Chains A and B, each alone.
Chain A
Amino acid sequence: MNIVVCVKRVPDLAEAEIVVDRSEKGIETEDLVFDINEWDNYAVEEAVLLKESIGGTVTAISLGEEDSEEVLRRGLAVGADNAILLNDRAFDGGDAFATAKALAAAIERNPFDLILTGAQAADDGYAQVGATLAEMLGIPHATLVTGLEIDGNVARVHRELEAGLEEILDVRLPAVLTIQTGINEPRYVSIAGIRRVARREIEVLGAKDLGLSGDEVGAAGSRLEMQRLFVPPATQKGEILEGSVDVTTEKLVSIFASKGWLA
C-alpha cells in the first residue's frame, strides 16, 4: 500500500503570544517555537503503523518554506520512506484551496492508495485541505477520523461526531482520510533519530515542476482573499485574583465559602 501523508510546520501556540506583523496578514515569528502540526503528527504515526502492519511505503509531503524540512525529517525518522517539499514563492499566501491544488498536483505524479492529512492545522484552522484534495483527485474522503482499519480496498473508519458519538463507515480506497488527535499514541522521536536521516534526500518541487501556473496557486489561486489578521481585544469577563499564592487561594476559598460550597 502506498500511503501519502501531508504535514505542516506550525507554531506551538500553548503559551505563545501572537503578534500580528506590519502587513496585517501574517504574524511575527521570531519568538515562536515551531513544530509539526499536532494533528499531522497523529497522521504520520497512523501511516507508519499501517505500513508496519500491512506493508508498503509512506511518503511525507509538506508545502512551506525551507524550514518545513524539519517536519519532513521528523517523518523520515519515524518511518517515512520518501519526503517531498513544495517550496516556491508562488505558493505564498495560499488558502486551503490553493494549498490543496499544489498538493494534488504533486501527489498525482505517483500511484497512491491512501492519503492521510491532519484534520486541521493549528495556525489557520481551516479543516479543509484534506477533503478539498480528495475532490480534486476525484476520490472519496472521510474527515475527523479516530479509528482506522484497512481490509483490502476498503477502509473502515470511525469519525468523531459531537457529544461522545462516533459514526462507523466503510470508505473505498483510494481515499483521503483526515486524522483527529487521539487516534494513536505518536512515538517519541529522538534527536539521534533525526540526525540519522539528516542526509536523506528531500525532493523539492515548485509550481512549474507541478505544471501549475502562478495564478493557480498561492494568494492568486485562492478563493479567499485575506483582508486582515488581528488579535481580538482582551475581554475579561471576571476578576483575576491578585497577590501571592496564599492571598489568591484564600480569596477563592472565601468565595467558595460564601456560596455554601464548603459546608
Chain B
Amino acid sequence: MKEILVLAEHRKGELRDITLDLLARGQQLADKLRAQQAEGELTAVVLGQDVGTFADTLSSYADRVLVVEEEAMRAFNSDAYQEALAHLIKQRRPAITLIGHTAFGIDLAPALATSLDAALATDCIEVDVEGGAFTAVRPAYGGKARMSVLLRGDVRIATIQSGSAPSPSPRATRGEIVSIDSPLAGEIAYKKFLEYADTSAGEIDITQSDIVVAVGRGIGDPKNIPIVEDLASALGGVLACSRPVVDKKWLPKARQVGISGKTVQPKLYLAVGISGAFQHVSAIKGANMVVAINKDPKAPIFRVADYGIVGDLFTVVPALREKILKAKSGK
C-alpha cells in the first residue's frame, strides 16, 4: 500500500483545473504515507486519444504518469473509463484512487466503486491517512454540516471537491511516462456520445460587467425580479442569478452564476436572496468585493461576503436603490 492514483480530467483538448486539485491532494497523501510507512508515491492516470501533451504536463507533478491511448475514450464515456480504470486498479492495488467530484467523476466513480467492491467517499474536502486508515471529510445538509467518514476495506476511491486543495508546485525532476495498452475490448455499444451543446449563450454576457447584481431563490416569485433588476440598473451593473431561478425558468441560463453556469470576476458582486451553495460561491471567487443581502444569518453566503446585511430583501433592496440614486445625483 504505497501508491496514490489520481485520474486526470480533460475535455475538448484541455486538461481541466480539477486535475491540479487532485494532484495536490494526492501529493499530500503520498507524503503522509512516506512519513508513516517509508513508502508513498503519486501516480497520475490519463485516458484518451492524443493525450501526450497532458502526460507531459502531469509528469511535472507526479512520480509516474500512466497513459492509455484509446479512441473509445477520446470524449469522456463513463463506461469506457470504468473498464480501463478498473483494470488498472485491480492490477496495481493503489492505497486510494482520487477522481474529481465533477460531472465526469459523478458519472464514473459510483459504478466503478461498485464494480470493484470499493469504498467510495464523494465530494470530499479533506482526505487523510493515519496508520493505514483513510478518512475523509465531506459536506452534508447543503454545506451546513460536515461528516467525517472512514473508508472501509482496502479498495478505496474518493471524489474531490474542486478548489478544495491548494495549487501544487511543479517538481524539479519530472516523473516517468509509462504507456499502457488499452484494456478495452472495443467500443461501448450501449452508451454513445453524440455531441456537446452550449446552453449558456444568450443575449447578454454577464462575465463582462464590473458590477454584477445576482438574485436567488429568496425572491420568491418571478414578478419580484424587477426589484433587483432596478438595483442593478441603479448601480450600472448587470442582473444575474443563482441556479434555482433558472431551474424555475424565471431567468435564462445565460444569467446563471455557478459551476454549471458562468464564472464571474467583477469588481462588485452583490448577492440578493442567495444562500450561497458551494456550486454558486466557487464561481465568484474572482470578485474583488462580495456583498450579500439575506434574511438568514446562517446563510453560507455570509462566509464569503466582505459586507453583509441580514434583512428582508424587499425592504433592504428598494432602500439601497433609493440611496444609490440619491448619491449619484449629488443629492
Contact = CB atoms under 8 A, between A and B. Distances in A.
Contacts of B256: 164
Contacts of A134: 111
Given A165-B197, A256-B235, A261 B120 contact: no
Given A167-B76, A168-B195, 7 more contacts: A20-B145, A142-B191, A159-B103, A169-B194, A248-B309, A252-B291, A252-B307
B257 to A, nearest CB: 11
B320 A249 contact: yes
A31 interface: no
B106 interface: yes
A162 interface: yes
Interface stretch (A7-15, A72-80, A202-210): A7-15
Contact of B150 (A165, A182, A227): A227
Contacts of B75: 167
B260 A159 contact: no
Interface stretch (B39-47, B55-63, B91-99, B243-251): B243-251
Interface stretch (B30-38, B167-175, B222-230, B311-319): B311-319
A157 to B, nearest CB: 10
Contacts of B319: 245-246, 249
Interface string A93-109: 00111001000000000
B72 to A, nearest CB: 13
Interface residues of B, number: 97
Contact of B103 (A125, A160, A236): A160
Given A14-B217, A123-B140, A238 B307 contact: yes
B15 interface: no
Nearest to A156: B194
Contacts of B119: 223-224
Nearest to B112: A135
A72 to B, nearest CB: 23
B164 to A, nearest CB: 13
A256 B321 CA distance: 12
A13 B141 contact: yes
A18 interface: yes
Contacts of A70: none
A4 interface: no
B327 A167 contact: no
B152 A222 contact: yes
Interface of B: 11, 75-76, 78-79, 101-104, 106-107, 109-111, 113-115, 118-123, 135, 138-142, 144-153, 189-201, 211, 217, 235-236, 243-244, 246-249, 253, 256, 259-263, 267-268, 275, 289-291, 295-298, 302-311, 315-316, 319-320, 323-324, 327-328
B106 A127 contact: yes
Contacts of B140: 123-125, 229
B323 A250 contact: yes
A223 B309 contact: no
Interface residues of A, number: 85
Contacts of B76: 167
A239 interface: yes
B191 A140 contact: yes
Given A131-B107, A161-B103, A171 B190 contact: yes
Interface in A210-263: 222-232, 234-241, 245-246, 248-250, 252-253, 255-257, 259, 261-263
Q: What are the 6 A-B residue pairs with the smallest beta carbon separation, nearest first?
A: A164-B200, A182-B247, A131-B110, A223-B119, A238-B306, A135-B114
If over half of B's interface residues share one DSSP class (helix, strand or loop), that class is named, otherwise mixed; here it is mixed
Contact of A232 (B115, B146, B267): B146
17 contacts: A27-B145, A124-B147, A131-B111, A156-B194, A160-B103, A223-B120, A223-B153, A224-B149, A228-B148, A229-B145, A229-B146, A238-B302, A241-B307, A241-B308, A248-B309, A249-B319, A256-B324
Contacts of B249: 182, 185
Contact of A164 (B110, B244, B261, B327): B261
Interface in A150-190: 156, 158-172, 181-182, 185
A144 B199 CA distance: 15
B118 A230 contact: no
Given A16-B144, A236-B302, A165 B307 contact: no
Contact of B141 (A123, A142, A181): A123
Given A182-B246, A224-B150, A237-B305, A166 B141 contact: no
A253 B323 contact: yes
Given A124-B140, A162-B102, A168-B197, A241 B191 contact: no
Contacts of B296: 14-15
